[in-house]
A and B are shown apart, each in its own frame.
Chain A
Amino acid sequence: MSASETLVVETAARVLADLADPQTIVQRRDDAWKVPLWSSLQEIGLDLAWASETAGGAGASLADGFGIIREAGRAALAAPLAETLLAAWLLDRAGLTAPGGPMTVAPVRPKDHLTLDKAGRVNGRARMVPFAGDVEHLVVLATGDDGPSVALVRTADCKLKPGKSLAGDARDTVEFVSVLPVHRARLQESGTREKDVLLLMGAAVRAQQIAGALDRILELSVLYSQQRVAFEKPISKFQAIQHSLARLGGEVAAAASAAASAADTVANTGFDGDAALLEIAAAKIRCSEAAELGAGIAHQVHGAIGFTDEHILHRFTLRLLSWRDEFGDETFWSLKLGEEITARGPQGLWPLLASR
């Protein structure tokens, strides 16, 4: 994606600005905004951007889908738009059709594994499933005798234990006890990483959301520093503040680069090969690091007002921090990447980096 963002992404940005404005959401303190937003997203087909047209989706490019997700990040969206795109994408990988309406995916933690028994029923437990309680359908990746399959499951058929993310968004524990899926099919991904596709794609998605939200907190922080007067001048005139915001700018740039590079890799070369792991792991790790530093600086610049519940800053910073934990955190991906790098040996590192 470049400065010439496509029409689809521009549309997503406009819809989100109109119907999911953080200021309005913070003031109203209820979920009423979600209904008109979702019907608008659905009407335009943004929710199923990644489902192919034959499966009732919009058949948008992977790049456009990542663009929509970045906009969702820029809005600190607390609704399962990224998850629905991801779910539709996963269904598509198995040739299945999306049922319509918001969806989510499972598992999102590397240590959670779901299985498919001989009768085709899903078993296992997945924790921290985003928005599970808010959606009618879950799309799960479950392993059976013939390898990984994709299954569309009704949420009502599972046992849910509600939980919350750092930002207060639903992150539920979902128990699958011999759940019969609505549909299921063998994952059509080939290659050595097929069992990890959801983790890899999810990490690329979360990296985009983090990059988007960081972008907004830079804007908010710059604007605030120019408006807030202390010691008889706007605080933006103090070198200490300028340098803090310059560092925030650096983190925004690093996150944007890493996320864009990973998205570009997924869109153009898929998941196979060492390059995909490098790109996606690096994006998730570096975006998560930027989230910590960036959120810290944004709060420091905003001072006490940014710590209040009526200010919108926390909608961004808490989501930034919570997204770090999903689809593999920094430690998980550092280990994965480190294993690959040490296995290649010292002379194998540079050729890998230079190939990107």
Chain B
Amino acid sequence: MRRTFDTGNAAITEGAILAGCRVFAGYPITPATEIAENMSRRLPQVGGTYVQAEDECAALHVCNGAALGGLKAMTATSGPGFILLSDPFGWAISAEIPVVIVDAQRVGPVSGITGAPGQGEFYLSRYLAHGGNYETIVLAPSSVQEAFRLTVRAFELAERFRTPVTLLADQMVTDGWEGLELPETAEEARAMGLRVVERRAHPGPDFYPATDAIDVPPVVLGRGTGAACSDWTPDERGLDTEAVEAQHRHAHRLIHKIRSHRELIAEHEALALDDSPDLILVAYGTPARVMKSAVAAARARGLRVGGLRLVSLWPFPDALFSRPARYLTVELNWDGQLVREVRRAAGAGAKVHFLGRCGELPSVTEIVEAAELLLGGGTLRRRGWDAEAW
């Protein structure tokens, strides 16, 4: 085991290399540039390729092309580049291409503030492609070590589900420095729960089976299988068709290959939930670390508060929100995104509240005060320009 002190960007780089990523294409953008820089240094050492693309859209297309040729590939970006991935992301969704995308969320909208953390792309990560008719996998690290593990995991899920997987990080995770343990042998990697799925190639002829099965090898060109691969609605052989029935089968597969196996993706951390707390705090990414401290602080004050740290965001873990409790999401945005999904999952009549900030973290004290107010029957209110809450 190699013990080091490094950034989330470095952790993501090493996770990708371990997972077998041999092509990285990207475009410099704060706060994800360091992943590109690290990849440009590390990939040639392992026989891989760094491509500095002409824009983010091209970057993911280059990754898709490399994946289509049988290589594992990744791109990394932030908000203004993430939106430009929409076109190749949709292509990879429909053509069922395993590829990994990192989004280091910063403050928006649009260019916003480059060097401060935000969580404004929760829904964008779910709906990045136009046209609907798909489900997607999004994972959210909240530490440097977890960024390493989830990068390896993202590659594993991409291969198994034949789909792009997004690592939705934030600027504090990618830029932040922390202790990082890196396995040096395959045994150490296994002991850390890391799994590497080798790339396989579909033998044909039914490259796009009408089932929700996973572990179907992806289409790989150049093997003489007569594969056809595109973003048109495919028939089972991959040929474009205008048949509505074929579209139904394709969309059904894209949605249900993921939803039917959601238990293989779902991951969360439960905090003090054993005694059916009255209030459950919900967060992902860096704010989840403050939330964790807030749960401990609230408990120390005798408040029946628990917490849910979401690690897999999409498919959304609806089942976690069936408890008869109030929920309070803590998010790095002012408009409230995670809260809407928790409200939907918790169902009509559930009390779901929001505490938002952006560009900086909320304090433990402010979260505990909000919890206390809610448990005392009070109402969270927007506090001028300082905090958005309801």
Q: Do A and B come from one complex?
A: no
B-binding residues in A (CB < 8 A): none
